[in-house]
Amino acid sequence: MPNTKSAERRVRSSARKELRNQQIKTRLKTLERTFRTAVTEKNKDQAGQALVAVTSALDKAAKTGTIHRATADRKKSRLSRHIAVLAAA
């Protein structure tokens, strides 16, 4: 239980931020799953569009601090390797 007014505000603020971060992370997982599905189905056009969407969402999440910048970079790199393999095949 918070003992001061500022602690009460921090509890409310933390709850709002936690909810927003959960929404962003859920969206990231959904976009990544869409990309991986397109890659497994060998659909180059859909995979390309999905990669652009995932990359954009990862950059936005990193910019706001929801995920670390290095995590976003690592995920983008690994996803783009999938599409490079798909394009080579």
- Number of domains present in the structure of the chain: 1
CATH code, domain with 39: 1.20.58.110
Helix 69-88 vs helix 5-40: angle between axes, to the nearest 10 degrees? 10
pLDDT in tens, 29-65: 999 999 999 999 999 999 999 999 999 999 999 999 9
Name the residue among 1, 88, 89, 87 with its Cα closest to residue 44.
Answer: 87
The model's pTM is 0.88
The whole domain housing 12 covers: 5-88
Q: Kindly give the residue spans of alpha helices, DSSP state H, lying in the chain.
A: 5-40, 44-64, 69-88
pLDDT tops 90 at residue 2:
no
pLDDT in tens, 31-41: 999 999 999 99
pLDDT tops 90 at residue 1:
no
